[in-house]
Amino acid sequence: MKVVLFCGGLGMRIRDAENLPKPLVRIGQRPLLWHVMKYYAHFGYKDFILCLGYRADAIKDYFLGYNECLSNDFVLSGGGKKLELMSRDIDDWRITFADTGASSNIGQRLRAVRKYLEGEDEFLANYSDGLTDLPLPRYLDDFHRQGRVASFLCVRPNLSYHVVSLQQGSSLVSDIQPINNGDLRINGGFFAFRKDIFEYVQEGEELVEEPFRRLAGDRQLVGYVYDGFWASMDTHKDKQQLESLYARGTAPWELWRTGAEPAVAPH
């Protein structure tokens, strides 16, 4: 099963992303995009299609000059002439680099790579700006059991805002709660699609606007509710929080290091 990754974002609200596409903003030694790809590769999905946009050249250059020594143990001998890697990162990955337009929306980017999905009955997709410890096999089992065209990860927002309730007809506050304490759920940016998705996405449309409404109307859209770890990188503060988890060695999304499944089961 192929994995479509939308990589055209500017990352305008992240100071570290000046002149860089958001997927190349680093967490530790590797960019966010690498962490997302490593997550899928951990579960055996290593055939990637990158939907490039802003600074496509930077993403291409990163992989063309990829240095495996940064994230693997190695032995250097012979006065620096011989290098032996103790493990490998991306030698069995297959990556298709597809220019899908500097200002295209997600729906347009998906339509642009349809030709690279010929013969695929289903595929995975991702916004490339979020990380999770979601047990992917369970998610896919649910997708297959539901038998619908599309499924997406349904999570609580990782925001510091508060939801305010006002007394009816008044400006008096009756309640105030952290936004992630309530029943509000958002699209977590992890998707599974059947090939029929292309029948729902018309020229120029954003993926989760008109197409998802059509899918919902046809009862072909499933939200997979998950309360385990999920976080997106939208601001510099988000980046700092993810960096902190990584620096402490407690990054929940690094399932490839522990091999363990998350402690929180999906609904």
Cα gap 264→267, rounded to integer Å: 9
3-state DSSP call for residue 234?
coil
pLDDT at residue 79, as a whole number: 82
Return averaged pLDDT per consecutive 10 residues of the chain, 267 residues in all: 90 62 92 96 96 94 88 82 81 95 94 97 97 96 97 85 73 70 83 97 93 96 95 90 94 86 53
pLDDT at residue 261, as a whole number: 64
- Is residue 95 within 8 A of residue 48, CB to CB? The reply is yes
pLDDT at residue 181, as a whole number: 64
Cα gap 60→79, rounded to integer Å: 31
- Read off the pTM: 0.87
Rg (CA), the chain: 20
Structure tokens at 243: 């960096």
Cα gap 254→262, rounded to integer Å: 11
Cα gap 55→103, rounded to integer Å: 11
Cα gap 226→83, rounded to integer Å: 43
CATH number given to 3-74+87-258: 3.90.550.10
Phi/psi at 80 (nearest 5 deg)? Answer: 90, 5
pLDDT at residue 265, as a whole number: 46
